[in-house]
């Protein structure tokens, strides 16, 4: 029976930032990007500016590889309707922050965004999606190519390689059938297990070094608390959505009227909308400094915004 392993998000938070464990991260990225990835350094992440809820809800790590590219890796648990805009903002800010003042545009860093998602995101039958910027002719439908001089200057072959690229892994949609090395990694991301016949790069090191039983006792207790917190947060969100419906059923049974169920549906929808508005507001706290503007954008009250900022 496979040994229980540390979840990938916990490894990102506590272990994979150490050079001794770079091989695990390099293995995952090599299989995903179909390139021989070598991590040169781990950069500061965005987590330091997150709210307490966001710190639990998502984990992020930034790394620079041997090509000078910056790879953003993010694990997200709870639903976020504006998630695509969030990763666009993150990649754009990384581009701007890493262009030295007065430097030419040719020095813009290449950004690769990798999102590991544990919630139902968008519509689509696949469980791994890749997004890139491509320029297609309106009349001839051909793709714009770089000139020979541009290829020499930028050290790449295609125009889309100059722009940020995005990888979305919808973990829960994976069917647990490992058809290739990348699937073996996704199996681990979903089940926290590595089968004995898996051969994907980095998985054997992950199997050896991410064993829960090998953690020091304080670290193991911290990991257990973290897992408990994730369960607790998921339960609270589910309860918030369901409380209105349960109240409606109770009213309907007691009064024998359809109005009770309708009221419950309304309460449930209102509670759900409030939760989504607060999540959107939390993602914009460091972008919109004016409380009144943020309240207007999200439909929340000024008191709600100040509560989220912790200034109330």
Domain ranges of the chain: 8-214, 217-309
Burial of 277 (0-12, 13-18, 19+ CB in 10 A): middle
In this structure, what token pair is assigned to residue 206?
């992950």
Task: Tell me what the pLDDT averaged over the chain comes to.
Answer: 83
Whether pLDDT at 270 is above 50: yes
| H/E run at residue 5 | none
Question: What was the pLDDT predicted at 176?
Answer: 96
Mean pLDDT (whole number) for 136-163: 95
Angle, vertex CA 289, rays to CA 97 and CA 103, nearest 5: 20
Residue 136 or 283, more confident: 136
The beta strands (E) that lie in 81-220 are given as 111-117, 128-131, 165-170
Whether pLDDT at 92 is above 50: yes
With bands split at pLDDT 50, 70 and 90, how would you rate the model's confidence at 265? low
Q: Name which of 29-43, 56-70, 126-140, 241-255 the model is least confident about.
A: 241-255
Mean pLDDT (whole number) for 244-273: 62
SS3 (DSSP) at 228: helix
| H/E run at residue 59 | strand 58-65
User: Considering the entire predicted model, what is its pTM?
Assistant: 0.71
Residue 298 or 160, more confident: 160
Q: How many C-beta atoms surround the C-beta of residue 148 within 10 A?
A: 8
Question: What was the pLDDT predicted at 227?
Answer: 67
Mean pLDDT (whole number) for 163-189: 97
Residue 129 or 155, more confident: 129
Whether pLDDT at 298 is above 70: yes
The beta strands (E) that lie in 125-278 are given as 128-131, 165-170
pLDDT above 70 covers what percent of the chain?
78
Question: What was the pLDDT predicted at 64?
Answer: 97
| H/E run at residue 279 | helix 258-284
How many angstroms separate the CA atoms of 238 and 178, rounded? 31
Mean pLDDT (whole number) for 234-258: 57
């Amino acid at each position: 029976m496979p040994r229980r392993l540390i979840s990938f998000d916990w490894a990102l938070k506590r272990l994979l930032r150490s050079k001794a464990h770079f091989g695990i991260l390099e293995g995952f990225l090599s299989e995903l990007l179909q390139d021989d990835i070598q991590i040169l350094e781990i950069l500061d992440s965005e987590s330091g500016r997150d709210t307490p809820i966001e710190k639990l809800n998502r984990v992020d790590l930034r790394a620079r590889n041997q090509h000078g590219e910056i790879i953003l890796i993010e694990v997200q648990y709870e639903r976020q309707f504006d998630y695509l805009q969030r990763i666009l903002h993150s990649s754009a800010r990384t581009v701007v922050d890493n262009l030295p003042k007065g430097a030419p545009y040719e020095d813009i860093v290449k950004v690769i965004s990798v999102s590991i998602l544990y919630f139902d995101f968008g519509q689509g039958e696949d469980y791994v999606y890749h997004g890139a910027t491509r320029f297609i002719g309106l009349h001839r439908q051909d793709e714009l190519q770089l000139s020979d001089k541009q290829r020499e200057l930028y050290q790449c072959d295609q125009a889309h390689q100059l722009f940020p690229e995005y990888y979305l892994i919808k973990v829960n949609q994976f069917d647990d059938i490992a058809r290739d090395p990348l699937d073996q990694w996704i199996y681990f991301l979903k089940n926290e297990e590595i089968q004995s016949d898996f051969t994907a790069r980095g998985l054997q090191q992950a199997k050896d070094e991410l064993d829960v039983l090998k953690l020091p006792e304080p670290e193991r207790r911290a990991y257990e608390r973290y897992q408990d917190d994730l369960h607790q947060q998921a339960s609270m969100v589910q309860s918030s959505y369901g409380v209105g419906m349960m109240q409606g059923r109770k009213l309907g049974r007691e009064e024998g009227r359809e109005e009770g169920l309708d009221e419950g549906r309304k309460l449930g929808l209102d509670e759900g909308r409030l939760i989504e508005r607060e999540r959107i507001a939390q993602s914009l706290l460091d972008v919109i400094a004016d409380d009144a503007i943020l309240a207007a954008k999200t439909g929340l009250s000024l008191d709600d915004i100040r509560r989220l900022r912790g200034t109330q």
